[in-house]
Amino acid sequence: MSTQVPQGQVVSLLGPNGAGKSTLIDLILGPTSPDAGEVRISGMSPADAVRTGTIGAMLRSTALLDDATVSELVGMVNSLHRHPLGVPETLQRAGIADLASRRSTRLSGGQRQRVAYALAIAGDPDVLVLDEPTAAMDVASRHAFWASLREVSANGRTVLFATHHLAEAEEFADRVIFMQDGRIIADGTVTDVQDLAAGRE
């Protein structure tokens, strides 16, 4: 399969479990190498994009240090980047300033997801990749998360997020890539994909 995502676009990877969304994200981030062809992010290999902070990622499960506060976690990740946002700015953009002094062991599932999002944006990346970012979030957390992501994309950042929820893609994505059995079977606006799927289950 071959596809390109232009700068500043918000793209949703949509598809059922096992469709290949997470595998594609692994290819983009570098843990998995393609059998053929190549992956380029802003002209760089995935490894170089990660190393330079060009790309940031929020995966489905993120391990957090048990004894650290949210502020300490964000500070640690900020220190790894050449041009970090800084701890206060990262917390504010992620909408978790109120959790700054809370230890990771006292976070709910949804709050852990929000912290993982903060860690993903700490380096102020040009490209943000999110694998089912709203998993475990309650309704209020989802609203706050998407509001934050809108601000990120409004500043010209490229966003790619995987989801099972067509409603999320419909509300937040400029473009939908629908995957099944490791292949892209539809690529276009939400309306394009809905029209293609009309009458099907």
pLDDT digits (tens, 9 = 90+) for 171-181: 889 899 988 88
Among the listed residues 76, 102, 30, 29, the one whose alpha carbon sits nearest the alpha carbon of residue 114: 102
Task: Indicate yes or no: pTM above 0.95.
Answer: no
The CA-atom distances, in angstroms, between 46 and each of 5, 27, 56 are: 15, 8, 11
Give the single-character DSSP code of 66: T
Which of the pair, 135 or 84, is modelled with greater confidence? 84
Average pLDDT, the chain: 88
